[in-house]
Each structure stands twice: as C-alpha cells, then as structure tokens.
Amino acid sequence: MPDLTDVALVSLGTTPGLRRADAAFADGLRTAGLSCAVAEVAIGAAGALRRHPAATDLVEALAARRAGPAPARVVVYSTVTAALLQPRRETYAVRFDSPAALNRPGLAGAWQRRAERRALPGARCLLPWSADAGAAAPGAAPRVVLPVPIGGRSPSVAPAARDIDVLAYAGDPHKRGLDRLLAAWARVGEGARLVVGGIEPADALRWLERRRVAVPDGVDWAGRMSHAEWTATVGRARLFANASRREDYGISQLEALSAGAALVTVPSEGPYEALPIARRLAPALVDADLGAALVAGLALADADLAAYRQAAAEALGPYRPAAVQRVMEERVIPALGLG
C-alpha cells in the first residue's frame, strides 16, 4: 500500500488571489518535505446561479463537497465556504481570508454564519490569512496566522521608467469600487494617466453605463492579463489606487507595495491587511475621500517615492516567502499534527 498523503487541499480557487494562495500553501508544505494532493473544485453549470451571496455560497459549498479529496492524514479546506457543507471528518483544518462572521452580514449571510458555527469549531486548527480574520472566526479551535507570501523586494526602477501615474485593479467592478475610483479621478486626474486592469474594456464600459457613470479623460484600460504581465505593469506605476467597498485581505495592494508603487486607498471595510501598513507609510494617502488621497499621492516627488518604497520593503518583511515558510514549518505543520 502506498504511504498516505500528508495533506489533501480542497481548493475552491474562484479568484486569482485564492488560486495564488492555494498554490503557495501547497508549495510551502512540499518545501517542508510533506506531500500535498490538491483537489480542485469544479463549479460546473450551476455557476450560472451565482447571482446573490446566499446562492453563490451554496453553489460553491456543494461543489466543494463533491470535490472528493484524496485520503490524507489531514484535509485542509482553502476557504470557509469550502468547509460549510462537508461531511464530518476527525482531522481537518480550514484556511481562509475572511470568515462569514465578517464578510456575510445580514440576511444574505444567515445560513452561512450558522453553518460556519458548526464547521469551524471542530477543526484541528484554523489557518487565517490575517490576525483580524482569525479573531472574528467562531469557536475555540487553535489559530495560526499564515500570510500569503508576497514576492521579492521592491525593484530599483528609474523614475522615468514608471510611466503610469496611477494603476488600479477592477476585476470585480462593484467590489473594487470602479465607479468611486472614476468619480475621484474626474476631480483630480487632469494631465495624469490612470490605467485600470483586471477587466476587459467592453465589460467595464457596460457596467459603468448601467450605473450612468461617465469615463473621465486620462483613463486607459489594460484588460485582463497574466500574473506575470500584471506584476510587470505594477512595476511601471508610481501609485496604486484602491477604491474597494470591501477587502477580505488585499493581495493586489500588498503586491503593489512590493513592486514599488505607493498605495493610495480608501479605508475599505473587512480584514484589509495592507491598510495599517499604508497608514504607517503615508497617512495622507489613506482617506475616505479618495480624490484628496490621489491629490496627495500625485504631488509626491521622486525622492519621496523612493523613501516610501524603502519603508514599504521593510514593512513587508513578515510577508516575504522565507518568513512565511518559517511560520509554515515552525507553527502550521505542528498545528496540523504533522510535526
């Protein structure tokens, strides 16, 4: 009989951020010498029903239940949603960016919060991406905060090579606040260039037209791109703007800081990991009035941005791959009962 797999990871993977986090988690286990089998969740035709949070979570939770992870010493669910409707197991853990207690308020999240109160307390351990997410999760299961690793240090890029004044991501235009971003840009963007990525231009324009939001001058659409292309584009930006209505972690903001872009952001609700870092680095760039924050960011001189990049590189120390791997080996693996 072959040896039992150490960890079976049930990977919901419905967003680029979740897919990167799952891949990093599996790689971290393998680097530590453990075996990890990834069961990727297939949504199928039922995906068309995902038009409301309650229905979306039900479709995804049922798909995760059908994923059928390989027999393993420990099963790890990659999100709270993936764990909600699973059969009872003695040895499982849950990794998540945000619990339903935080990101599913009101009637639309009623069944998810109830199911979460059943699913999480029985876990061998919880592996939140952030301390805020872990503190909000119900039950007394042990918690080990395991950040998503963020790539190498900020590159030394000549100011002239940073030819994008402001970059923003709008993969989900409502959640990312594309309408709020363009309203702010209409007030302050004269003579500057805003590049919006993560969404195809036609999709963005249809979404904006339904909401009667005009596109101001100075806006370019970069469309969807690979992660490597996106990282290269961020490396050309002086500022990265965030208008999100909610953040369950904020990988794109942390990656922007790592790539050397100064973060201009509203104080989005949720366990927004980059928010306290942004406030420490430059309080004037964090404002509910995004227009005011953009004005402050666009006024920064090259020397100011260079100092900001250096401070950001130091602040991101706990998120570097080597630091995250130490947490994996020293705390996560023992908490999983595999040390």
pLDDT tens, residue by residue, 193-247: 999 999 999 999 999 999 999 999 999 999 999 999 999 999 999 999 999 999 9
Q: What is the pLDDT of residue 42?
A: 87
For residues 220 and 196, is the Cβ–Cβ distance under 8 A? yes
> Can you tell me the distance from the alpha carbon of 17 to that of 249, in angstroms, rounded to the nearest whole number?
9
| Residues 106-123: tens digit of each pLDDT | 998 999 999 999 999 999
Residue range 150-177: mean pLDDT, rounded: 82
Q: What is the pLDDT of residue 337?
A: 96
Top pLDDT among 147 and 51 is at 147
Least confident of 13-22, 158-167, 198-207: 158-167
The pLDDT-based confidence of 1 (bands split at 50, 70, 90) is very low
Question: Can you tell me which residue has the tokens 């292309």?
Answer: 229
Q: Whole-model pTM?
A: 0.91
| Residues 308-324: tens digit of each pLDDT | 999 999 999 999 999 99
Q: Residue 156: pLDDT above 70?
A: no
The pLDDT-based confidence of 45 (bands split at 50, 70, 90) is low
Instruction: Identify which of 257, 255, 246 has the alpha carbon closest to the alpha carbon of residue 132.
Output: 246
Q: Residue 300: pLDDT above 90?
A: yes
**Mind listing the domains of the chain with CATH numbers?**
5-149+320-335 (3.40.50), 159-317 (3.40.50.2000)
- Tell me the CA end-to-end span of the chain in Å, nearest whole number: 23
Q: What is the pLDDT of residue 255?
A: 95
The pLDDT-based confidence of 252 (bands split at 50, 70, 90) is very high
